[in-house]
């Protein structure tokens, strides 16, 4: 593979991640003063999002199962082996779990650990693919997440010779997981659909489609959008 192609791909991925960080920061500012907040990012990856957060937050920590960082400045990382988070209870003002939930078999424990390390008035930024979207973003196969798990396993094995290791959730399932841990779920996907330009995102066909629908009936789209994007807040704080 040509070196220029590799470098171009890395640069493109970096730009995409930093743009995503800008969106995360903009949403979190609706809830918290980042300059006073300690932030935990679950799933460090290359480190670009944590690095961008470190420019505005009081302190940024992160965890991942491997160290794939391409940038390490501005934040600390700890390696983990499962859903357990190596921090004391009530340590963080904000926890970010960005496209991690679908990789976690024990999703209840994932949310339970987040709840444990979060301060009582803390918030959670959570994004994850929608089970009911037409294709899975990881393997690009149509309808695979709709199928019973034994069938989807066979489908991926035949099509890609890969193991089906994705656990995408529906909005109903995500809401249930959140409520079980005492969170109120605030769906931010509607903001992205109706006002994408405010997040630096180009309007999509979904945006245009939503604009044609009556406002009351348009929100059923939240059940079929490609990605769930929610903020979890304590039920007590929401009263």
- Give 213 or 189, the one with higher predicted confidence: 189
Instruction: Determine the average pLDDT of the residues in 94-108.
Output: 96
Find the helix packing angle between 171-180 and 107-117, rounded to 10°: 50
Q: What is the pLDDT of residue 238?
A: 53
Which of 43, 102, 52, 101 has the alpha carbon at shortest distance from 75?
Answer: 52
Q: Which of 22, 18, 6, 5 is nearest to 199 (CA)?
A: 22
Question: Domain containing 114: what range?
Answer: 3-131+168-238
Residue percentage of the chain with pLDDT more than 70: 91
Let me know if residue 159 belongs to a domain: no
Mean pLDDT of 196-207: 74
CA distance 70 to 73: 10
What's 100's domain CATH number? 3.40.50.150
Q: Exposure of 86 by Cβ count < 10 A (0-12 exposed, 13-18 middle, 19+ buried)?
A: exposed
Residue 106 has pLDDT above 80, yes or no: yes
Answer whether residue 68 is part of any domain: yes
Q: What sign for the dihedral angle of Cα 209, 31, 74, 120?
A: negative
Distance CA 127, CA 108 (A): 16
Q: How far is CA 52 from CA 114, 132, 138, 196, in A?
A: 21, 31, 25, 21
Distances (CA, A) of 199 to 39, 49, 185, 221: 21, 15, 20, 19
* Higher pLDDT, residue 210 or 68: 68
Q: What is the mean pLDDT of residues 189-196?
A: 80
Contact 222, 174 (CB under 8 A): no
pLDDT, position 194 = 78
pLDDT digits (tens, 9 = 90+) for 26-58: 999 999 999 999 999 999 999 999 999 999 999
Q: Which residues on neighbouring strands pair with residue 142, listed in sequence order? A: 135
Taking residues 120-132, report their average pLDDT: 97
The pLDDT value recorded for residue 8 is 39
Q: What pLDDT is stored for residue 119 in this prediction?
A: 97
In a domain, 229, yes or no: yes
C-alpha span between 50 and 59 (Å, rounded): 10
Q: Look at residue 2 in the predicted model and tell me its pLDDT.
A: 37
Kindly state whether residue 157 falls inside one of the protein's structural domains: no
> Is residue 223 a part of any domain in this protein?
yes
Pairwise pLDDT comparison (62 vs 234), residue with the higher score:
62
What average pLDDT does this structure show over 74-95? Answer: 97
Q: How confident is the model at residue 3 (pLDDT cuts 50, 70, 90)?
A: very low
Tell me: pLDDT of 206 over 80. Answer: no
Is 136 a domain residue? no
Higher-pLDDT residue of 40 and 212 is 40
Residue 145 lies in a domain: no
- Asked if the structure places residue 38 within a domain, the reply is yes
Q: How many separate domains does the chain show?
A: 1
Pick from 9-18, 35-44, 189-198: least confident = 9-18
Q: What is the mean pLDDT of the chain?
A: 89
pLDDT of residue 4: 35
> Regarding predicted confidence, which is higher, 205 or 179?
179
């Amino acid at each position: 593979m040509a070196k220029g192609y590799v470098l171009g791909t890395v640069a493109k991925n970096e730009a995409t991640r930093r743009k995503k960080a800008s969106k995360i920061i903009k949403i979190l500012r609706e809830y918290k003063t980042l300059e006073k907040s300690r932030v935990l990012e679950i799933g460090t990856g290359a480190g670009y999002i944590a690095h961008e957060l470190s420019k505005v937050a009081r302190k940024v920590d992160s965890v991942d199962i491997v160290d794939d960082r391409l940038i390490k400045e501005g934040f600390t990382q700890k390696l983990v082996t499962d859903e357990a988070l190596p921090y004391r209870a009530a340590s963080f003002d904000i926890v970010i779990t960005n496209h991690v939930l679908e990789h976690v078999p024990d999703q209840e424990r994932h949310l339970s650990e987040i709840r444990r390390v979060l301060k009582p008035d803390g918030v959670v930024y959570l994004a994850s693919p929608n089970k009911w979207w037409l294709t899975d973003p990881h393997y690009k196969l149509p309808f695979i997440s709709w199928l019973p798990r034994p069938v989807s396993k066979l489908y991926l094995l035949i099509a890609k010779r890969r193991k089906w290791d994705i656990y995408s959730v529906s909005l109903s399932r995500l809401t249930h997981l959140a409520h079980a841990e005492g969170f109120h779920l605030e769906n931010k996907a509607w903001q992205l659909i109706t006002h994408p330009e405010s997040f630096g995102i180009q309007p999509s066909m979904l945006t245009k489609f939503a604009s044609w629908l009556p406002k009351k009936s348009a929100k059923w789209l939240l059940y079929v959008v490609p990605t769930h994007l929610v903020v979890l807040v304590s039920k007590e704080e929401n009263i």
